[in-house]
A and B are shown apart, each in its own frame.
Chain A
């Protein structure tokens, strides 16, 4: 069965610093991979997705993620975070006839 691991429950970053959120997946074939963001009290919004092709994908709000098959990873990055990036971030994997499986999330705190 497919699975997703987000090893960092909570990350604190200074405003303007770079960010990397980790995501590792388990899936038998080429996966579909997603990053979603959830602001407090809100639903989830898609940041970016990988289906095939270029392994570096660009998303909204200046985020990017890189699919590394050899490491079974799909880490999310941003070169310079803004206070408005404080939220919870979820990685998800799908593919074939499988439904999406979500990770447990990483809560991002931004300090001035």
Chain B
């Protein structure tokens, strides 16, 4: 049981490049979320999913896309990276939207 896994751990992009942050969980959780963590701002919800095929926007969705084709996977796509997207990104999963979240180890992204 690996829990929540994220790849890559570190990534450097140039402005305008695109990339996908991968997230997978093996706990059969319906709910999955993407957060970004910035100094002094805590965790802010980017997008979330309540099940395969269903996604919704969180607090800071602009510049990010998500899809949920399977229960296990919830990738986050940056279509055209900007320096403002430099952050640490965490994926989380849970049994319910308001319940205990299980977090991945994070991806540290730098956009130059």
Contacts and interface: CB of A to CB of B under 8 A. Distances in A.
Nearest to A2: B98
Q: Determine the main DSSP class of A at the interface with B.
A: strand
Given A36-B103, A102-B43, 9 more contacts: A9-B40, A34-B100, A43-B90, A44-B43, A44-B90, A46-B100, A94-B98, A94-B99, A99-B48
Contacts of B103: 36, 43-45
Interface of B: 4, 33, 35, 40-45, 48, 58, 90, 92, 97-106
Nearest to B44: A102
Given A43-B103, A45-B103, A102 B98 contact: no
A94 B42 contact: no
Given A46-B100, A97-B97, A98-B98, A90 B43 contact: yes
Nearest to B102: A46
Contacts, number: 55
Contacts of A103: 42
Nearest to A45: B103
Contacts of B105: 42-43
Contacts of B98: 32, 94-100
B14 to A, nearest CB: 24
A49 B99 CA distance: 9
B77 to A, nearest CB: 21
10 contacts: A34-B100, A42-B105, A94-B99, A97-B98, A99-B33, A99-B58, A99-B98, A100-B101, A102-B42, A102-B44
